[in-house]
Amino acid sequence: MEIYSPKDFPLPFDTAITIGAFDGIHLGHRALFQETFKISELKGLVPLVVTFNPHPRKVIQPHLELKLLTTLEEKLELLEREGFSRVVVLPFTKALAEITADLFVEKYLVDYLRAKAVVIGFNFRFGRSRTGDTELLKNLGQKYGFQVTEVPPVKLEDKTISSTLIRETLKKGEVEKASKMLGRNYTLIGKVISGKGRGKKLGFPTANLLIPSEKLIPAQGVYAVWVYLDFQRFPGALNIGYNPTFDEKELSIEVHILDLNGDMDLYNQALKVEFVKFIRGEKKFSSIEELIQQISQDCQLIRKVLI
């Protein structure tokens, strides 16, 4: 995949572009991508995704502490899987946010990106204070010679699929519903760090994961997950929480990998976990024995869910 930045402008080819933050790469985004590929083939243009880093809301509304469904690396990997061989990553700055809608079109879409076709979602806004809309873009398209195609929303259970809705769904622990909107299972990728070793003492050794601070963590509880390690896939029990039985103060994300060779050293390795099903909420147990019994039941249920 070729990744372009402003140093590569103007691009050396005419393009059909779709532009947005594209956090999560969900089914709504995929509808835009399909239309972009269709138009690019019809018109003999290069299909191109234009996205931003950091997410625009992190610059415009930094106080909201937005958590992301995909890091930039994850987003680029997913875009490549969608079939894009070229992506433009625009650094989103306060200066870029202040460019007027008209100037953004003239400078970026026309001069820099050589857009001959632009594919947008139903709620697309651009330019200073988000004053640019579909009507303005179509008018400017007539002026500068590019086609504008607006793609209608994609819905699930009468709700428009959006990154915001998926974030809200994951915060409730509804990972199955989130997976339907994403078109794939939600994932976390983290490095294995040293923990307290408590899981091993209980008979269920766990890998403690360090997750990038910008990533959205689903609701606290136990989940059935797939764990990817060295191109292998293992069933796993993932716990997100504060381990109330032991009165811990810091959130931990730890996974017990079923069917893993007990001698394998996971420390410092990167693991990808794929959420499949919410099993239960976090609970404080009255004894260690009760906790061990519950973990054993969780693992049995997770094995049935995944295998």
- Name which of 134, 150, 26 is nearest 82 in CA terms: 26
pLDDT tens sequence across 122-161:
999 999 999 999 999 999 999 999 999 999 999 999 999 9
Strand partners, 120: 150
pLDDT tens sequence across 184-222:
999 999 999 987 766 677 878 899 999 999 999 999 999
The answer to whether residues 204 and 299 touch, using CB atoms and an 8 Å cutoff, is yes
Share of the chain above pLDDT 70, in %: 95
- Name which of 188, 252, 180, 184 is nearest 215 in CA terms: 188
DSSP run (H or E) holding 226? strand 221-229
pLDDT tens sequence across 68-125:
999 999 999 999 999 999 999 999 999 999 999 999 999 999 999 999 999 999 999 9
Domains observed in the chain: 2-160 (3.40.50.620), 189-306 (2.40.30.30)
Residue from 254, 282, 289, 290 carrying the catalytic annotation: 254
Alpha-carbon separation of residue 105 from 101, 112, 236 (angstroms): 6, 10, 48
Here the tokens at position 268 are: 């410092």
Instruction: Give the orientation angle of helix 175-182 with respect to helix 163-171, to 10 degrees.
Output: 160
pLDDT tens sequence across 229-274:
988 999 999 999 987 666 677 899 999 999 887 666 788 999 999 9
Residue 254 falls in the annotated catalytic set: yes
Task: Name the phi and psi angles at 15, rounded to 5.
Answer: -130, 155
